[in-house]
Amino acid sequence: MTQMDNMVRNYDGGITSSPARLVSPSTVPEIQSILTDAVQYPGPVRAKGSFHSLTPCVSSDGTIIDMSRMNRILKIDPHDMTFTAEAGLQFIAASRVLKALNLQFMTNIEIGNMTLGAAACCHTKDGLDGGEFGQVGSYITAMKWVTPSGQLAEASEANNPALMYLMRSSYGLCGIIYEVTFRIKPLEVIHFKYLPRRIGELTEKEVDEIIDASRGLICWTVGRKAHFQTRHPADRVGPFGSLFAASRRKLWNFGEARVGRFIDSSIPTKPLRDASLDTWFVGNRLLMSYLHLVGGATLYNPDKTIDYSETRPSARYAFTFWAFPRAAWLKALRDYVDFSEKYFRDHDFRCNMALGSYFIRKDEHSLLSYSHDGDVFFGRPHSRLYGQTSVGWVLEGVQRIREQEGRHSLAEPESVHHEGPCPGGVRDEMDRFLGSS
């Protein structure tokens, strides 16, 4: 078998890796044997979850450990409200089991194919569960792993919070995580409301009021209009709740990105292509305005998690991540809209989906937390990278974002390369992490 036979691809196909060895252990001793036999399993050794990430974090020409076979649920404790499972279990599968017991995770992230091991040691974000923390790993209370030397190790919030603080953003560099324990809570019903506002008319005071009145927030920007999707508690799911949840999952899973990609790649003339994308954006705005007029919709909280495993390649999408201090976000949003319009005029490229801005509260549970210093808005422009023009959009946008106090995310796509100092205030945290590990 050649290295090409071992090729693994990430979710959107933009990143590939061909390790010398690709292995799928099902027990802890198997992981230990891999890490202690450098001849059979050459380094560097990397653990792989679902590889939904848009970064080459998993990539290795040595050994990749596919954790998907270690997917057993070990314990659900309704008294202590904890859930313990092996690290290869996907979030969507765990969430479905919990929901059947009228339970749920504390943070119900949108991307359901994330594995629990990735949640334990990598950055995540969810603005619609932002009542406390929008990072899934902040609710992990214990984990176990195999160290690079093959030894067994473990830590818990009760016994070693300092080590948990390091491990929650270790990205697998401290060893192969094989078991994790999460806090859970009773199943919740939530209500989404949609508030449209023109960006030019927004004030800092109004944004503060929207944040204070909501237990979760995403701002969807289409053109020069912002649509604030806010989360609120509810007593029960309405008669159309299951339909809304299913339609929402279907839209993100099969429709939203597919339409934008079809317009960009299949409509031959610029005038018709521009008119088609403009019409699609009008449809986006009308949908959110309609939801505003009818008062929004209710659903069970876990039902906002989406299973992307069956998404066709034509419906997959890429995005770039930047976190802005709360006080800098509105100015940065306006600058982003100006920049995007100018770049489209100059280079005929624009994102073919709405900009999502996720509000994430201050979170000091991990060393490299992107909201360690305070509340942030997590900007996520969507687009497939089609070539040099779109990569140029990302690179020029990166420079503009830095000027607006944007903080670089470790989830940044691999097509963006940096020279010189580590941007966005990450250097100090990285130095502390490397010193600790």
The answer to whether residues 363 and 134 touch, using CB atoms and an 8 Å cutoff, is: yes
Please tell me the distance from the alpha carbon of residue 220 to that of residue 226, in angstroms, as a whole number: 6
For residue 316, what are the CA distances in angstroms to 109, 111, 222, 311, 353? 18, 12, 19, 7, 12
Query: What is the second-level CATH architecture of the domain 189-426?
Result: 3-Layer(aba) Sandwich (3.40)
- Give the CATH class of 73-186: alpha beta
Q: Which residue has the higher pLDDT, 232 or 427?
A: 232
Residue linked to tokens 């903080």: 407
pLDDT at 55 exceeding the cut of 80: no
- What is the identity of the amino acid at 107? T
432 CB-side CA count, 13 A: 15
Helix (H) or strand (E) holding 227: strand 225-233
21-25, 36-40, 135-139, 381-385: least confidently modelled range: 381-385
User: 281-312 pLDDT, tens per residue?
Assistant: 999 999 999 999 999 999 999 999 999 988 88
* Fold match, 73-186 / 189-426: no
User: 64-107 pLDDT, tens per residue?
Assistant: 999 999 999 999 999 999 999 999 999 999 999 999 999 999 99
Retrieve residue 257's tokens: 């990105």
Retrieve residue 402's tokens: 């830095």
Residue 414: the pLDDT is 39
Q: What is the pTM of this model?
A: 0.89
Retrieve residue 278's tokens: 């403009």
- Give the CATH class of 3-66: alpha beta
Sign of CA dihedral 152, 156, 162, 165: positive
User: 186-234 pLDDT, tens per residue?
Assistant: 999 999 999 999 999 999 999 999 999 999 999 999 999 999 999 999 9
Cis status of the peptide bond prior to 44, with omega within 30 of 0? yes
Please tell me the distance from the alpha carbon of residue 291 to that of residue 229, in angstroms, as a whole number: 10
Retrieve residue 99's tokens: 């929901």
Please tell me the distance from the alpha carbon of residue 227 to that of residue 381, in angstroms, as a whole number: 15
Domain ranges in the chain are 3-66, 73-186, 189-426
Please tell me the distance from the alpha carbon of residue 24 to that of residue 29, in angstroms, as a whole number: 12
What angle, rounded to 10 degrees, do the helices at 388-403 and 329-347 form?
150
